[in-house]
């Protein structure tokens, strides 16, 4: 049998061989050449590659899709470029630009009825259609990334290719490992996370290509390489931070034969629990993308057969991690762009909601003295929270509609019955986590308490009258699940959120470069200028 080096060189030079076709599709020559450590991966998967020679890798599929998307965008700009998306009010300018329609985001859209959709696929759709690990049921995040990049559901074999590539790209430069290790344990995990990602910019393929004068039509290629490298390295960064801050500082190694979520779980120290690994697969998938900015709120009236629906919306929500998109528009590479997003995520209005939920539940349990509490006790505690000028964390969604459904039933021209009810619009990401809990931890006291809240809080909030959508969102559940499996360090939860969100923002950044999206530069006004604009109106 040929040596490993000979096999690798053969795969790169014999373009008609089955191995070379697949490797060339899946890995760039530059990437494969500079990572000798993956030679044993090539060797162990030689037969698998030969069997899968007809597969199309992610990068090759993306290269096929880019010209089509470029033509589509060119048509939209030519035919629809003068169309008005909406108006802007002074309140919106002062209100964080909520609801202003002025951003392109391809991967996901928040639907008022179905919640988040990834290229048209809902959370339940993704759970049914995206490939799962052998013996598992939850979708693999690798499959969702393929969907975000291509708009297509991948095969199990294509997902395996992404898993293999991320594992082989996962090693951190020694100076980044040393940088993390030198951080004091008192430095917040998110600060360490952003620091490590920024330091990885030293490895940026895009930065080097740009400095060398590469044609802008090729920007997407080096952005793709950086994005794949960065996503692949995040478990090692996140795991190292967790082990240093909360454990003994000993970091396990990536298992080249396992998927992304398994390896993240292993680095955290929980891979022996297959249910925890499944939870991480679900967690990374449902938290991966949530549009690119603010979503406008609106009120509409819809008719359906004999019923009339008066649908009332809530206000728009805060952006998730728009900083990645904004900074990337300056042609900052994926490392700098994502680091900016992480710094935004670390703010209390963004990524800390699940911590606030868990702390609120624990405080309630401690004050009431037990997890075995009556519905009446919970109602009293909720009212105490509201009367104290606080909100019930984890409840309310800024985009999902709460429909007041009004029905009338007639026989001929006579009105027989008239009624209305408030329709439930629970965040499907919450529902996915609840279904997971019902299957894996139905008797856990904290989950039972969360279930009581699920049945009680909406009614109290409706009676309170100041919450337009009283149903739970994704943050109302995730902390309790993580705590059940032993990951109790609440300050770390946002790091997991950041790992997940990399899939969405970096998929979009690749497309930003492929479509030649320009530098963002909205117009700003001073208060004095606004007063002057409307002085005589």
- Which residues are marked as active site? 350, 397, 475
Q: Which of 368, 371, 370 is nearest to 382 (CA)?
A: 368
Torsion of CA 54, 55, 57, 60, to 10 degrees: 40
Q: How far apart are CA 58 and CA 161, in angstroms?
A: 8
Asked if 147 and 154 touch (Cβ cutoff 8 Å), the reply is yes
Q: How many CB atoms lie under 10 A from the CB of residue 268?
A: 24
Q: How far apart are CA 453 and CA 357, in angstroms?
A: 11
- Please give the distance of CA 372 from its chain centroid, rounded to a whole number: 34
Q: Categorise residue 308: left if φ over 0, alpha if ψ from -120 to 50, beta otherwise.
A: beta
Q: Could you give the residue ranges of the DSSP H alpha helices within 81-218?
A: 90-94, 123-129, 141-150, 156-168, 174-182, 189-199, 205-211
Q: How many CB atoms lie under 10 A from the CB of residue 169?
A: 19
CA angle 157, 162, 167 (to 5 degrees): 125
Retrieve residue 212's tokens.
């060398």
Strand partners, 303: 308
Q: How many CB atoms lie under 10 A from the CB of residue 529?
A: 9
Token pair 């075995």 in the structure block, residue? 372
Q: How many CB atoms lie under 10 A from the CB of residue 88?
A: 14
- How would you class 108 by CB atoms within 10 Å of its CB: exposed for 0-12, middle for 13-18, buried for 19 or more? buried
């Amino acid at each position: 049998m040929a040596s490993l080096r000979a096999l690798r060189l053969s795969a790169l030079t014999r373009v008609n061989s089955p191995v070379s076709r697949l490797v060339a599709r899946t890995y760039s020559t530059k990437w494969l050449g500079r990572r000798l450590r993956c030679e044993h991966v090539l060797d162990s998967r030689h037969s698998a590659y030969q069997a899968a020679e007809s597969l199309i890798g992610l990068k090759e599929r993306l290269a096929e899709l880019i010209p089509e998307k470029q033509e589509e965008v060119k048509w939209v700009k030519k035919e629809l470029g003068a169309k008005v998306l909406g108006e802007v009010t002074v309140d919106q300018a002062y209100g964080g630009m909520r609801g202003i329609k002025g951003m392109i985001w391809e991967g996901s859209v928040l639907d008022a009825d179905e919640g988040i959709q990834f290229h048209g696929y809902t959370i339940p759709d993704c759970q049914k259609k995206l490939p799962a690990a052998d013996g598992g049921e939850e979708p693999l995040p690798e499959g969702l990334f393929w969907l975000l990049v291509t708009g297509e559901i991948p095969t199990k074999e294509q997902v395996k290719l992404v898993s293999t590539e991320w594992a082989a790209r996962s090693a951190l430069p020694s100076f980044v490992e040393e940088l993390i290790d030198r951080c004091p344990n008192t430095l917040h995990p998110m600060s360490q996370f952003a620091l490590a990602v920024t330091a990885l910019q030293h490895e940026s393929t895009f930065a080097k290509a740009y400095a060398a004068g590469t044609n802008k039509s090729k920007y997407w290629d080096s952005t793709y390489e950086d994005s794949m490298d960065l996503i692949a390295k995040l478990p090692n960064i996140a795991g190292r931070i967790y082990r240093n801050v909360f454990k003994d500082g000993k970091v396990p190694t990536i298992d080249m034969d396992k998927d992304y979520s398994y390896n993240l779980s292993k680095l955290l120290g929980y891979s022996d629990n297959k249910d925890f690994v499944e939870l991480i697969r679900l967690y990374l998938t449902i938290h991966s993308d949530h549009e690119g900015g603010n979503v406008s709120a609106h009120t509409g009236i819809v008719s359906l057969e004999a019923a009339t629906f008066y649908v009332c919306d809530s206000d728009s929500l805060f952006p998730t991690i728009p900083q990645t998109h904004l900074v990337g528009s300056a042609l900052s590479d994926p490392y700098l762009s994502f680091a900016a997003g992480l710094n935004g995520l670390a703010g209390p209005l963004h990524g800390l909601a699940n911590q606030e939920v868990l702390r609120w539940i624990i405080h309630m349990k401690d004050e009431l003295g037990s997890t075995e509490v009556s519905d009446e006790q919970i109602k009293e505690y909720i009212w105490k929270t509201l009367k104290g000028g606080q909100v019930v964390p984890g409840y309310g969604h800024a985009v999902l509609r709460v429909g007041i459904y009004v029905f009338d039933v007639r026989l001929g021209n006579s009105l027989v019955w008239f009624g209305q009810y408030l329709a439930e619009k629970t965040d499907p990401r919450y529902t996915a986590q609840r279904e997971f809990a019902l299957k894996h931890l139905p008797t856990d006291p904290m989950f039972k308490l969360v279930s009581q809240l699920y049945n009680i809080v909406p009614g109290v909030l409706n009676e309170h009258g100041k919450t337009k959508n009283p149903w739970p969102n994704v943050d109302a559940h995730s902390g309790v699940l993580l705590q059940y499996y032993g990951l109790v360090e609440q300050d770390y939860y946002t790091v997991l959120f950041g790992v997940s969100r990399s899939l969405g923002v970096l998929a979009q950044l690749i497309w930003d470069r492929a479509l030649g999206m320009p530098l963002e530069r909205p117009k700003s006004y001073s208060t004095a200028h606004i007063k002057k604009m409307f002085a005589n109106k």
